[in-house]
Chains A and B, each alone.
Chain A
Amino acid sequence: MSDALASLGRFLPELLLMGALAVVIVADLATQAWSLARSRNLLVGLTLAGLGAAFVASLGEPGGGSLFASMIADDGLLGVLRPLFALTAIFTLLFSLRAKELDGARMGEMVALLLTVTAALMWMAGSVNLVMIYLSLETVSVASYIMVGYRSSDRLSNEASLKYILFGAVSTGVMLFGLSLLYGLTGTLDLYGVRAALAAEDAGPALILVLLLVAGGIGFKIAAVPFHFWCPDVYTGASTPVTAFLSVGPKAAGFAVLIRFFYSGIAQPGADGTFAAVGGVDWQGLIIVLAVVTMTLGNVAALLQTNMKRLLAYSSIAHAGTILIGAAALSSEGIGAIVTYLVIYLFMNLGAFLVVILVHRVTGTFELEGYAGFWKRSPLLTVAMGIFLFSLMGIPPFAGFFAKLYVFAAAVEAELGWLAVVGVLNSAVAAFYYIKVLRIMAVDPGDGELPALRFSRLDGALLLALVTPNVVGILFGGALEQISEIAQRLLDLA
């Protein structure tokens, strides 16, 4: 009991989100009679306040130690990811105000779902207990399904939601089966207990099955090949702010679970920041294969896309593959590289999606040909998109370069130089499709004389907030490494 009470104090961001959730539900009910715009403003304002408070509360040094009888680790990794989730949710909320697809939609359920899923992401990133991992992952999934199908009158949105549910059910079911097997093998639900049991005695071939089943569940969340099939369809069907959210938030949480499960559960730290697999299965190969296949297929498939959301879907698959390189490094450095990547990825990927939203607002299309002639209509938007795409390519002087640099450096340090080579070559291929988008925006003539674009103040502020980190990020290697260093302090390594 006292543990639970003490834990609550260090659970403030999540509590704030839950509090905000209660408030918006009541507010939504109380304002049914209000005009759409008025209730929308109120709800968005309340949600923004909740998310902002959670963001502020999640800053600062993590406490260390675990919460709620070793369910959740209040360690460095969670400490870094909490504000990242809150920030992603804030951007998503503001995006949804500008997305044409959500014009005229009531926001009550959307903001409630957003608050729920954000809190669940935080649980997910902190989980160090098999049941907690499953519960939080399922909470994120269920809320995501509804968000994808939010536009209930839209066929594509429904189809996407259904696919997401069916595939998600299979994946999480498979993962649950794997976790139950692991419980059977080790007799404990605590990840650190699992590690101790496996270190004491090899688990044999059964562990291989466990790893594959769990990898399926995690692969689904981070959209790694071959668990990626849902991704392009769902990204296309969901409203763009939701797509943007899915491409950053759950992906980051998925990587957190991956780090927890693989690094804390079935590996143990060795000398100078490396990890070694326990239980008799050398699973590094699994991650390496996933990384190579995911990167390559994502990039190759993206080359041929003619729809911007599908292109970004495959691009996000390719990025997941690149991040997996960091996971394959089996070192604290690798953990740091993953988190650094996720932080930078937030700004570059959300930036690209913001441009997609703004373009859709005026053209009503996600097809690439709709991007023609944007240099004439809005040089500002074209330049911003250029910065996001160059950053996604990983080209200096933009921040995306750091993301790739640290991941590749971790691989090289772990004597996986060839994997870094594959990664570098993949980045070269990726340049093809990103530059294609830019060429269309800057060079292709649009249809006839289109009017110049005017942006609202919110658009300008959002663009500025997302462009700036990509441009000046290159100067802040030291700050990034501080974040990375904090993230490396897992529960048992603090």
Chain B
Amino acid sequence: MNSLLWLIPAIPGLGAAVNGLFGRHLGKRASAAIACGSVAASFLLALGFFFTRFLAEGGASARVEQSLFEWIPSMGVEWAYRLDSLSMVMTLVVTGIGLLIHIYSVGYMSHDGGFSRFFAYLNLFTFFMLNLVLGANMLLLFIGWEGVGLCSYLLIGFWFERPAAAQAGKKAFIVNRIGDAGFILAVFLTFVTFGTLDFYGVMGEIASADMQGGVLTAIGVLLFVGAAGKSAQIPLYVWLPDAMEGPTPVSALIHAATMVTAGVYMVARSGVLFSHAPAALALVATVGALTAIFAATIALFQTDIKKVLAYSTVSQLGYMFLGAGVGAFAAAIFHLMTHAFFKACLFLGSGSVIHAMEHAEHASGGHRHYTEMQDMRNMGGLLRHMPRTGWTFIVATIAIAGIPPLAGFFSKDEILWKTFEHGHFVLWGIAAAAAVMTAFYMSRQVIMTFLGDFRGGAAMEKHLHESAPSMTVPLVILAAGSVVAGFVGVPSALGGSYRLHTFLEPAIYAGGQAPPAMPHNYALEYALMALSVALAAAGIWFAWRRYRNAPTRDASLAGSGAYRLLLNKYYVDEIYDATAVNGTLRGGEGLYRLDQRVVDGAVNGSARVTMLSADLSDLSDRNVVDRAVNLVAEILGAASTRFRRLQSGLFQSYALLMLLAVVLLAGALVLWS
């Protein structure tokens, strides 16, 4: 069975190839069957591994390894996959939730012209994502990392006829370049330090030599720069909200459930390294907590149904990093898993709503812009028209708000508790405040979308109806997951045994030692648990009081500065544009102009030199020089003004410049020696 491991990523890869090359000739039905079938096959294989190898006694420390070939011999890197408890959980999330989203997409994209292209991208994404989680070394993880990024840009810009979508794809690409630069530098630094890139090898060496700080901090910080790019943390989060321009299943799969959590996975995968670099860990925790509350405040007053969810995702990713940052890597992965269920459910639910809205708009003869169809101010009362979408959305909302016994309660509460337990009271306070806001903005969203009366016009309301079963069945399954997924990690305080925890630890601390458990303080834990439930309930209650009878009352806040600040996302995009983006472009332009001006200046200078030397030299020499110059001048005069810059390329100026450069280089060389 071990030798079948490579098939888990390979099958979706094959699906992508088939759909990409022959999709147009296959027809929609075959395209969909190939795409969904390949992910289903991977999911079944993953389940097979799970049941045969990991569920048995001592399965937590089971390892399935397969090296396909020697990949980069000089660095001792193999193309090798490794399935341990951590990658097992990730693989199940990626293929399981991925499968549901594939199935959902069949209905959602059924009328799109790029149907087979869409599924080719989606399968390709799954292929790279599985390389990312199964890669046994940093370099293979990096290949997956960049591959999912590539698919993400392609899918954000899938509807590239919309300028906003093209712009968003470009933004995601550029912002991620910054993060990826950090990652690849971390890879180099790791290789130089340890001579290997295999995760187990690196972590084992750190643990056995009991290294502390120093280079580990540097590697940790660089890795986190990469993670902050991919997982949308401050200051690199700006691309994720814009990424919502992609089709909604993409938002659910890539920008909520899987790809954006890759950073969290990578930090957990390097758990031993981070445990030995407290400074880097503190950075992770702080950035995580700040992102959690920062994004939550922005989500408070957004009106676009997907934008709320996007900022919510950024905020929840912040929670995961907070968990990892306080050393509770397993709790971070736990939240990653539960979040995959309820956030995928919420996104697909919003997709179902948008689908219904757009359909009704078309059916009633309207032609409003697509952003209007995603505006919650035009919705309301949809629960009556689409009960399955509505109720699953409500279940997922309760889960994310943290109401027991739904999944979000267990995972979020564990992060809060670990933060407090490790003595990070300020971070705990921030995270608790963000929890209130989460409950508030999610409830606001449910009220504005599903309760009250429909605000989009009577003509449109007649045409509202529930989406097709291919879309609602995945919703129901995901909602069920949002209810029960938390039970794998019930804390001992509630009579559980942290099962997911014990399952993950052998992988997270592979080669090293898990830190000793803290002494139980159940009284405190109960108190905090009660408090966080109370906070969640308070958030819901605030939203209910505020919006129940006046869903669009935020309009009256338009005069408030704070409201405008939040609605405009703290103007961060504008600030980045004004500083970083413009700065780079202007600096570049300045340098380029300087380059050109030096050339121009040199032209004049060298002309004088030429004349002088012509006077001094004999006639024939002068003729040669003059002729060359005249010839150039003639050509210059004749060419169009568009080539003015090009014309400044007189050879004398070049020669002079070269001389100048040689002098400068000589100086550098002397100084260096």
Contacts and interface: CB of A to CB of B under 8 A. Distances in A.
Question: Is chain B found bound to chain A in the same assembly?
Answer: yes
Interface stretch (A5-13, A27-35, A137-145, A229-237): A229-237
B622 to A, nearest CB: 17
A304 interface: yes
B557 interface: no
Contacts of B621: none
Given A162-B631, A396-B146, A297 B591 contact: yes
B72 A163 contact: no
A226 B635 contact: no
Interface stretch (B342-350, B355-363, B665-673): B665-673
B188 A408 contact: yes
B639 A286 contact: no
A279 to B, nearest CB: 11
Contacts of A333: 74
B635 A428 contact: no
Interface stretch (A66-74, A356-364, A413-421): A413-421
A439 B167 CA distance: 9
Interface residues of A, number: 70
Given A297-B591, A408-B188, 9 more contacts: A156-B639, A174-B658, A212-B669, A227-B658, A281-B673, A303-B585, A431-B177, A432-B584, A484-B74
A163 to B, nearest CB: 6
B308 to A, nearest CB: 27
A5 B187 CA distance: 52
A424 B592 contact: no
Interface of A: 155-156, 158-159, 162-163, 166-167, 170-171, 174, 208-209, 211-213, 215-216, 226-227, 229-230, 232-233, 236, 281-286, 289-290, 297, 300-301, 303-304, 333, 375, 390, 395-397, 401, 405, 408-409, 412-413, 417, 420-421, 424-425, 427-429, 431-432, 435, 439, 442-443, 474-475, 477-478, 481, 484
Contacts of B639: 155-156, 159
B662 interface: yes
Contacts of A213: 662
Nearest to B140: A396
B649 to A, nearest CB: 5
A212 B174 CA distance: 38
Contacts of A395: 146, 150
Interface stretch (B178-186, B263-271, B319-327): B178-186
Interface in B122-163: 128, 142-143, 146-147, 150, 157, 160-161, 163
Nearest to A300: B588
A163 B654 CA distance: 10
A158 B638 CA distance: 13
Interface in B629-673: 631-632, 635, 638-639, 643, 646, 649, 651, 654-655, 657-658, 660-662, 665-666, 668-673
In the A-B complex, list the 7 residue pairs whose CB atoms are closest, starting with the nearest. Answer: A285-B672, A226-B661, A166-B651, A443-B166, A477-B72, A428-B177, A396-B146
Contacts of A300: 587-588, 591-592
Query: What secondary structure prevails in chain A residues at the interface with B?
Result: helix
Which of B628, B631, B672 has the largest count of A CB atoms less than 10 A from its CB? B672
Interface in B557-592: 584-585, 587-589, 591-592
B665 A215 contact: yes
Interface of B: 69-75, 77, 79, 128, 142-143, 146-147, 150, 157, 160-161, 163, 166, 170, 173-174, 177-178, 180-181, 184-185, 188-189, 191-192, 584-585, 587-589, 591-592, 595, 599, 628, 631-632, 635, 638-639, 643, 646, 649, 651, 654-655, 657-658, 660-662, 665-666, 668-673
A333 B638 CA distance: 50
A296 to B, nearest CB: 8
A338 to B, nearest CB: 14
11 contacts: A162-B628, A226-B661, A233-B646, A236-B646, A304-B588, A304-B589, A413-B192, A421-B185, A428-B178, A431-B173, A443-B163
A439 B588 CA distance: 20
B71 A477 contact: yes
